[in-house]
Chains A and B, each alone.
Chain A
Amino acid sequence: MLQFLFNDARRDEDLPAGMVVLDYVRRVGRCPGTKEGCREGDCGACTVLLGEPNGARFRYQAMTSCLMPIGDLHGRHLVTIEGLNGPGLNAIQQAIVDQGATQCGFCTPGFVVSLTGFLLGEAPLTEVEALAAIEGNICRCTGYVSIVRAVRDMLAALRDKVPATGDRLPALMALGVVPPYFAEALTRLGPVTPLPPAPPGAVIVGGGSDLLVQQAEALAGQPLRLLSHEPNLRGLRERDGDLYIGAMSSTEDLLRSDLARAFIPDLEPTLRLVSSQLVRRRASVGGNIVNASPIGDLTIMLLALGAELGLRLGEEFRTLPLARFFLGYKQRDLRPGEWIEWVRLPAARRSYCFHFEKVSRRRYLDIASVNTALSVQLVDGVMRDATLAAGGVGPIPMVIPAAAGALRGQPVSAAAAQACAAAACAAVRPISDVRGSADYKRLLLRQLIYAHFVELFPEACPVEALC
């Protein structure tokens, strides 16, 4: 029995845990304000808030409900647009109306929910952060210009009335941005019986951001092991200088983590290129690896950082370099029932220079045509060690040893960059597909390797030498 709070009322539902939250909301919950636009996390029309118990309150995040199995709702608070409406228009809604920032209206509830999530969250109340909160919401009518104006209006209306940091819920309730029942949401949920352990052979579901796109229907009838209910798999910690990333840590967790930022400078802008905030909150680090996409952004970064995996099957535990995990297209060194417990970044990599590049048709929330990551250990101007990883140029996310080999022992220079790129291009066999022709991908690989050097070492590798 799934027990959760749906808007202002507790629900006890005997439904398959794999049912998609979007379908639950619209068809069982009869709340049609949440819209179906794509069922793959690419439009944001189905955005809801998910509240997780956090001390005396729920902590809310906006997510796409099409990528969420209802099993994930257990013990949590699901909020749709219907659960946010007050008697009149709140400050978000009013700003959108005033600026004409809605035309056909189909995407609009998603924008309102995303912005509510932003206000309830911990990000500073800046325009940049507010816009980041709606980067996963597609609007086909407005051209976004009026939406940006509405966001400015909203911030202007709230900035002085809502605390810049800390818990903003009381202020937002007082202002009518969220309804009063939020104050007693945990009480309304009441006691929750823990879910029984998943039976052997259950399908392991992480964030679901890929699984629900590929096989939502198939999941609905199967027993699931929902890793979102296993808190020990989530979070980052440091031990002996190594960084351990719990496999269920979301990409957004990584982006916001001080530990990760300390390990990888410039991590934040890099991770902002990965998907959208709405999906980053669902997409887990382990899932990105297990999915074995030849073009996974996180996987490419982790490969270049020399990541290792901690793999568990019941009592059995083993470690494996990430580079050896991928055996062929969507083939992994993973036994049935085995899961990734953590990803470890070795302390030695802290001293490396690291850089990630990605080109896709659309800069954000798109799958790369080619992505690359380079880490370089620089000692007295000489590249002592290096790892180059590239996606989109073969059947698996690849480490290209020949490319790194061209760098080892060399001083940083444009010539070294060219040698590295030439070695990389010779080592790959991209295919032509919807993300680009094979020739383009090979050319792009070269350019992205040049970009690593231009960005990391602008003085030793001036752009004039490579452009």
Chain B
Amino acid sequence: MLRNVDTPLHVRGESVFVDDLPEPDGTLHGAVCASPVAHGGLRAIHLDDARACPGVVRILTAADIPGQNEIGNIIADEPLLAECAVHYVGQPVALVVARTPEAAREAVTRVRLDIDEQPPVLDPRAAAAAGHFIAPPRRLVLGDVDATWAHCQTVLEGRVDSGGQEHLYLEMQGAMAVPDEKGHLRVYSSTQGPTAVQRTVARVLGLGMHAVQVEVRRLGGGFGGKEDQATAWAVLAALGACLLRRPVKVVLRRGEDMRMTGKRHPYSSDYRIGLDGAGKILAFEATYYQNAGAAADLSTAVLERTLFHSTNSYHIPNVRVTGMSCRTNLPPFTAFRGFGGPQGMFVIESAIARAADACGLPAWELQRRNLLEADSVFPYGMRVYDPRARRCFEEALARYHWEDWQREAAAFNAANRRFKRGLSAMPVCFGISFTNTMLNQAGALVHVYTDGSVGVSTAAVEMGQGVNTKILRVVARTLGIPDARVSIDSTDTRRVANTSPTAASAAADLNGMAAQLACQAVLERLRGVAAALLGAAGRLAIHDGRVQVDGRATDLTWEQLVAAAYMRRTNLSAQAYFATPDIHYDKTTEQGEPFRYHVFGTALTQVTVDGLRGTYTLDAVRMVHDAGASLDVLIDRGQAEGALLQGIAWVTLEDLLFDAKGRLMSNSLTNYKVPDLHFAPREVDVAFLEEAGNPRAVLQSKAIGEPPLMYGIGTYFAILSALRALRPGRPGVYDAPLTPEKVLRFLYA
């Protein structure tokens, strides 16, 4: 196993994050003045008191913006700084630039905003009723649900709610912008989307994109929260740097970050499900009310993925799903690992949990009877490619002795009045590729230096997911040289331009392929040189840093070959470009093949609920996961384990709360709890599906970042199963997160 190349730095505290960068002399610090009101007309901004604070250099408002006051990426509906209205609590209104961060924050408290407060809309159903949409509703249709209900033996309807989720990347949002002698800017940003930052800085400052360089070394966690939501802070720093001709740094504090940035979208949904007498799902219909917050951000794309994953791992012949992106007065909700997929899957799993009851079958048996078949078609018209849903499901049941688990849980429950065990199975099928086909492109720049060392730049941003290590492995394997000869450089818009964000689990797929193509281009030239040097006509390859002819090592080393190539005036650099082939999607017909492939897997979960206190403990989660031919088992296991716990926490612990005025109540780590060591399941087993090579991605691998998050949904249903063992016959509750409060109310209210 290859170790993550960053980890020796991490354990020594030597990894550099934005806030750790040495500050150039004269660096100024920005603090954001944000709206305290969720909705209202912004009548006036009174800055005199704030300007008089010691250390304040300048206070910037919308009036100071030289270009467009617009940071919306998909839809242009989001100002950088509020002009005449505010739409959520935490919306930036002004940037105080001062000599120290403390001085800037002190001055922020002295800014007075004159706001004509109006009642906020916070609920997506209320927003939909009032016609407040980000974009027109979307609908996917497969078969004919209307004609099917009459043929169903069981038809059930219900409502499902799921809450938001704070990313809680440990490193807060931040950026530092440094102007040069031409007034161009170098921006160090903690962003998953360097090009989005570059494009937006250029737009807001009225500069060409060539005047803006964005560099990212690494992020202290992203999880989607730094895809679009990192942009504002970088643009604010750049605005200050541009106007003041001084370096300006904007790094949020935790409370600011939690209050001002978007999170996972809360959803409220209605469904109808119909089954035949054998427990086969014949029809599924759902309407998703997505709480998009006050600006589009990525909401339409997130909603699209909800629709795409509305049937999770199941073969359902008749489907009609409708999604509405509802505009409310909350922060712009945004990408979060899973990107709408979890919200969609929670609805179908809730429907299945209820349907299982009605059919008198255990939920796992109902799931099993409806898994994707070889010829299954998704509601978006795509025939599933190489489905492994059943393989993963059956292997999980067998490998982890599901029958024994059930027997033991039943025995435990029969013997205990207070504590009950609950079990669940959670199959996952997640499509890989950006659903926006255009984004499925990547570039790489590979330099082989004359000493044989190799520097690689790609569009991928390292945020702990190990993408740099994976790309390093692809490069070293493709060139046939030791890992130590390769360095993955920072992500920089001057080295690789026009990049897609590091998102959609696709960074290693896309950038790994681009890097491989660049290596192959250099290699092709080097083979020519080697053939000339060796006078060999056989098949030339490089292995372990040595040239081989027809599989036999020669005396010619990689270093000698590179040096000789240079002397013969050979280009030792290559830029390469990769675009995922064969994917397409037509939004007018809602048909196409948006995904290159799918990732499959199944997790089995056991919990124990304390019926006296209304609390629960997570006993075990055991999964079989399809990682293709893993590029790095250590990294992929870490991704699976980490995503799992985020998913579990989304449906149990993490309770994003706003008050009636749209103010975030869960606004600190004291009030918003993410898992600690004790909360995590006592046992987590990750088994990767064997002999699972995937010809559709780099080196037969599969993407890993997001899919395992949705195994966490199984914990919800395991708890519910234990609750229903405590209170047989009581109807279930389908409202995540299932906090101890909801548990106790279920039991006793």
Residues of chain A at the chain B interface (Cβ within 8 Å): 32-40, 42-43, 45, 80-82, 85, 89, 92-93, 96-100, 102-109, 112, 131, 134-148, 213, 217, 276, 357, 359-367, 369, 433-434, 436-437, 439-440, 443-444, 447-448, 450-451, 454, 463-464, 466-467
Contacts and interface: CB of A to CB of B under 8 A. Distances in A.
Contacts of A32: 13, 16-17, 19-20
Contact of A103 (B20, B642, B673, B740): B642
Given A109-B12, A131-B677, 8 more contacts: A32-B20, A35-B17, A38-B254, A81-B12, A97-B11, A108-B10, A143-B644, A440-B745
Contact of B745 (A108, A136, A217, A443): A443
B511 interface: no
Of B4, B8, B678, the most chain A CB neighbours within 10 A belong to B678
Contacts of A147: 677
Interface string B626-652: 000000001101100111111000000
Given A42-B669, A106-B171, A109-B13, A363 B218 contact: no
B655 interface: yes
A154 B219 CA distance: 27
A213 B11 CA distance: 27
A103 B464 contact: yes
Contacts, number: 236
A105 B613 contact: no
B77 interface: no
Contacts of B740: 359-361, 369
- Ranked 10 nearest A-B pairs via Cβ: A33-B13, A104-B464, A105-B10, A106-B220, A103-B464, A42-B669, A81-B13, A143-B645, A109-B13, A32-B20
Contact of B464 (A105, A131, A362, A367): A105
Nearest to A450: B612
Interface of B: 3-4, 6-17, 19-20, 102, 105-106, 168-172, 218-223, 253-254, 417-418, 463-466, 611-615, 634-635, 637-638, 641-646, 653, 655, 657, 665-666, 668-671, 673-680, 684, 739-741, 744-745, 748-749
21 contacts: A40-B254, A40-B670, A42-B668, A92-B11, A93-B12, A97-B11, A100-B7, A103-B465, A103-B638, A105-B218, A138-B674, A138-B676, A141-B221, A143-B684, A146-B637, A362-B653, A362-B675, A439-B745, A447-B613, A447-B748, A466-B612
A85 B684 contact: no
Nearest to B219: A104
Contacts of B464: 102-105, 141
Contact of A144 (B3, B7, B645, B671): B645
Q: Which of B13, B641, B671 gathers most chain A CB within 10 Å?
A: B13
Nearest to A276: B676
B680 A143 contact: yes
Given A35-B170, A106-B221, A362-B679, A97 B13 contact: no
A464 B72 CA distance: 59
A188 to B, nearest CB: 21
Contacts of A82: 13
Contact of B673 (A104, A106, A366): A366
Contacts of A42: 668-670
B676 A135 contact: yes
- Residue from A104, A108, A439 having most chain B Cβ neighbours under 10 A: A104
Contacts of B655: 361
Contacts of A366: 673
B625 to A, nearest CB: 14
Contacts of A97: 3, 7-8, 11
Contacts of B222: 104
A144 B10 contact: no
A365 B16 CA distance: 29
B676 A146 contact: no
A91 to B, nearest CB: 11
Nearest to B635: A100
Contacts of B637: 100, 146
Contact of B615 (A145, A359, A434): A359
A448 B170 contact: no
A121 B635 CA distance: 32
A104 B676 contact: no
- Tell me the dominant secondary structure on chain A's binding face: loop
Contact of A104 (B221, B744, B748): B221
A131 B680 CA distance: 12
Contacts of A93: 8, 11-12
Nearest to B12: A85
A454 B610 CA distance: 13
A189 to B, nearest CB: 23
A110 to B, nearest CB: 9
Given A40-B668, A100-B638, A105-B15, A444 B614 contact: yes
Given A98-B3, A100-B635, A440-B741, A85 B13 contact: yes
Contacts of B19: 32, 36
A360 B670 CA distance: 11
Contact of A96 (B7, B642, B644): B7
A410 to B, nearest CB: 21
Contacts of B9: 105
B417 to A, nearest CB: 5
A45 B170 CA distance: 8
The listed residue with most B CB atoms (<10 A of its CB), out of A40, A143, A369, is A143
Contacts of A104: 10, 169-171, 218-222, 463-464
Contacts of A357: 613
A36 to B, nearest CB: 7
A106 B217 CA distance: 13
B220 A40 contact: no
Contacts of B463: 104
Nearest to A364: B678
A208 B103 CA distance: 23
- Counting chain A CB atoms within 10 Å of each CB, which of B3, B417, B669 scores highest? B669
A140 B170 contact: yes
Nearest to B655: A361
Given A37-B254, A146-B641, A362-B653, A135 B677 contact: yes
B462 to A, nearest CB: 8
B167 to A, nearest CB: 8
Nearest to B102: A217
B684 A145 contact: yes
Given A32-B20, A103-B642, A144 B680 contact: yes
Contact of A38 (B8, B668, B679, B739): B668
Contacts of A436: 741
Contacts of A437: 741
A174 B744 CA distance: 53
